[in-house]
Amino acid sequence: MRGGDSAFIIDLSRATPEVVHWGSDLGEPARLAVSSHPVPPSSVGSPYRRELVPQASSGWRGRPAVEGHRPDGRAFSPSLVTTGSRALGEHGHEITMSDDAAAIELIIEIHLTAEGMLRLRSTLQNLGDTSYSLLSLTNSVPTGLGAAEILDLSGRWCREQHPQRQSLRQGTWLREYRHGRTGHDSSLFTAVGTAGFGNRSGAVWATHFGFSGNRATTVEKTPSGPALIGNSELFSPGEVVLAPGESHATPWTYAAHSARGLDGVTETFHRWLRSRPSHPASPRPVVLNTWEAVYFHHDIGNLLELSEAAQRIGVERFVLDDGWFRHRRNDTAGLGDWYVDEDVWPNGLTALIDDVRSRGMDFGLWVEPEMVNEDSDVIRAHPDWLSGPGLGRTPVEWRHQQVIDLVNPDAWDYVFSRLDALLSENEISYLKWDQNRDLTEMGHAGAASTHEQTLAAYRLMDELRLAHPSVEIESCSSGGARVDLGVLERTDRVWASDCNDALERQTIQRWTEAILPPELVGTHVGPTTAHTTHRTHSLSFRAVTAMFGHFGIEWDVRGLDDAEFSELSQAVDLYKTHRGLIHSGTAVHADLADPAYSLSGVVASDRSEALFAFVSVATSFDEIPGQVGFPGLDPLADYEATVIFPTLSSPYRAITNVGWIPDGITASGLFLAEVGLPMPVLNPEHGILIRLVRR
């Protein structure tokens, strides 16, 4: 199988499928040498093989692909053999494996797309006449020659997606996520690469698990072979028991190989995501969200003033955040009562919606459909709708919240009917769909239900999209705690973090966009002093940081002075001018020796233009940044480089003029990459935008 710059080669000539190669494309036809490996001393009596489905019955001593059993622990170790295979169009293949004695069948579906995206999922079916308890079902891919380091991401609330790197050693490296949602500490991807691999260099093998529930990722290296990267759902005891004839399908595992560093992985993910029929096709509108402007203090007069100010700045979508529904004066009550609060909004939301729409803006609304406060009308009427372990208790509260049991058909119908009514009765174009707590001790009728709750939430989104196809949905989860390709199958963007501190966002956004293209990632200009960190930044730095995403504002813009109004309006215009490039081009991240600086940007697919941000994130040992190279350009073309932001009228640029790149300097793409341009002396936590245009 070939796609992009990659190839995935499977040998089907033996009893079980063997992965011969996953890595760079070997050409067509590839001359393959499929030979036996030596048998080590004091080991199993057959050579090691890189099985697509590792299992103990073949001598594999690591984690097996299939773990399960029949009643009384029988059929605990399957011996699956290939019983069939067929092509799935131009870029896919399906392999069927069976174990007649254990009475199970496994179907593995593999696609290597034209963009180079490798996608795998497995379906296990119970062919027997007794139940089969499934403990885990893992999709694994092997790494290749020279794999030596592991890179993944971790974090917490307001500090999501921060990288961590370590050496690859023998043993099992394991990350488990038991949040019932993706999680603030979740890694968007797990990458294994050659020693010292960087943004633009080294071989990398990376995977992502497209599911929002509990899950596990492993990197496993035994003494007998290369490392495997595995992804699986993480089941609670008794959560998946297959009755005779029933089957279970895994979520998709997504994987990409690059011979040119992490940017090659990013390009594969971005190209594939943009190829989806469901990918947002219209220009991503400038958003204003009301949360950090008014919080829970909803007043129609203030909000009308905010709408007028938003229009003057150039906002295209106005989103009313938390506080609009019954009893919701703070976060301790009302969640789940999805009726417009008659005390605060005696005439409904119509007056605000009409005003917003009359100003040429879409109207959006915040909801949190999967959560409830116990202090709510819905739970007072239906206490049995709370999800939990049973046993006469509920899970520990989290932000005064519990989880509504969407596995319960009556609860699901209630939530769907209320959201459907809101969307039917009001001109709402956008839902900010939040989820503000971990789903600990998820249970329905006393049995574990994290898996089913996740699917029920997905179905809720799917049915609402079917009923209201023009409504867009954002996946927010107290920031970036539900960011994965499972939820993105039914949403139009994610909220990367509740932190609008531009310095924190530099890292959060860089690694979120390692696999998600910028048009899917909400990036807002926050207040002068950040709500979460109390750190103060210039408006120019906040705007430069928000530029490379789905740009928006989360700030009370009614009180801007003339200079702030001018600069923010310029940033909005700049985003509108360049969003076509930002949301279609190739992401580029330079490898700079000095960690005090970063250079990243986007290059047009035809390399006719590019937009880069040069940012100072800390103080440097050096007095000046020196020459910085611009990768990704056409080496044979000439480019004109111009600093386009901050503008000459910016308060920051007016006091900082040390070594600015002269407007209109021209050089070849090769010169710009290999020699570079002198960067200005920036104060820490400042940045500039540089546009390059082919001449």
Question: Would you name the residues annotated as active-site residues?
Answer: 434, 498
Side chain identity, residue 655: I
Which letter, b or e, does each residue of 471-496 get, where b requires 16 or more Cβ atoms within 10 Å of its Cβ? bbbbbbbbbbbbbbbbbbebbbbbbb
**Of 245, 18, 230, nearest to 132 (Cα)?**
245
DSSP 487: G
Q: Are 190 and 229 in contact (CB under 8 A)?
A: yes
**Of 476, 364, 375, nearest to 423 (Cα)?**
364
In sequence order, the 6+-apart residues with CB closer than 8 A to the CB of 65 are: 53, 54, 55, 122, 137, 138, 139, 140, 230
**Of 417, 307, 291, 306, nearest to 360 (Cα)?**
307
Whole-number Å distance between alpha carbons of 466 and 686: 44
Q: How far is CA 557 from CA 269, 315, 355, 409, 653, in A?
A: 36, 11, 17, 43, 22
Please report how the helices 409-425 and 450-467 are oriented relative to each other, as an axis angle in degrees rounded to 10: 30
Whole-number Å distance between alpha carbons of 205 and 197: 11
Q: Which residues pair with 639 in a beta bridge?
A: 667, 694
Q: Are 159 and 508 in contact (CB under 8 A)?
A: yes
CA torsion 73-75-78-81 (nearest 10°) is: -170
Whole-number Å distance between alpha carbons of 187 and 177: 9
Number of residues in the chain: 695
Whole-number Å distance between alpha carbons of 60 and 16: 13
Whole-number Å distance between alpha carbons of 379 and 281: 40
In sequence order, the 6+-apart residues with CB closer than 8 A to the CB of 161 are: 153, 155, 188, 480, 483, 496, 507, 508, 511, 512
DSSP string, 402-461: EEB-TTSHHHHHHHHHHHHHHHHHS---EEEE---S--TT-EETTEE-HHHHHHHHHHHH
Half-sphere exposure of 499 (CA within 13 A, CB side): 25
